Amino acid sequence: AQSVTQPDIHITVSEGASLELRCNYSYGATPYLFWYVQSPGQGLQLLLKYFSGDTLVQGIKGFEAEFKRSQSSFNLRKPSVHWSDAAEYFCAVGANRDDKIIFGKGTRLHILP
């Protein structure tokens, strides 16, 4: 069965600093991988996705993620965070194109001024 682990419940970084949010997945084949962001009281917005091809994926808002099969990881990065990036970030995995998405428990990002 698929599963997603986000080991960090909370992360605090200073505005302008770099960011890396960790995500590990468990799935037997090549998964479909996603990062979603949820601002307080809001819905889920897709930041980026990986299906195949280049393992470094660019997303919206300056985010990128790298798929590393050997480590079963799909970490999210941003070189310089902005106060507006404060939100909850969910890593997710799907098995097939029309399959359900399994979400991690999320990492809440706090930004220090």
Residues at the site binding another protein, with contacts judged by CB under 8 A: 32, 36, 42-46, 49, 51-52, 90, 92, 97-106
Q: How far apart are CB 87 and another protein at their closest, in Å? A: 14
Residue 30 is classified by DSSP as P
Our CB check for another protein shows the closer of 80 and 99 to be: 99
Q: How far apart are CB 57 and another protein at their closest, in Å? A: 12
Q: How far apart are CB 65 and another protein at their closest, in Å? A: 15
With contact defined as beta carbons under 8 Å apart, do 75 and 66 qualify?
Answer: yes
Q: How far apart are CB 70 and another protein at their closest, in Å? A: 23
Judged by phi (left if over 0) then psi (alpha if -120 to 50, else beta), residue 79 lies in alpha
Residues 38, 91: Cα–Cα separation, whole Å: 11
Our CB check for another protein shows the closer of 15 and 24 to be: 24
Where b means 16+ CB within 10 Å and e means fewer, 10-31 reads: eeebeeeeebebbbbbebeeeb
Our CB check for another protein shows the closer of 59 and 111 to be: 59
Our CB check for another protein shows the closer of 29 and 98 to be: 98
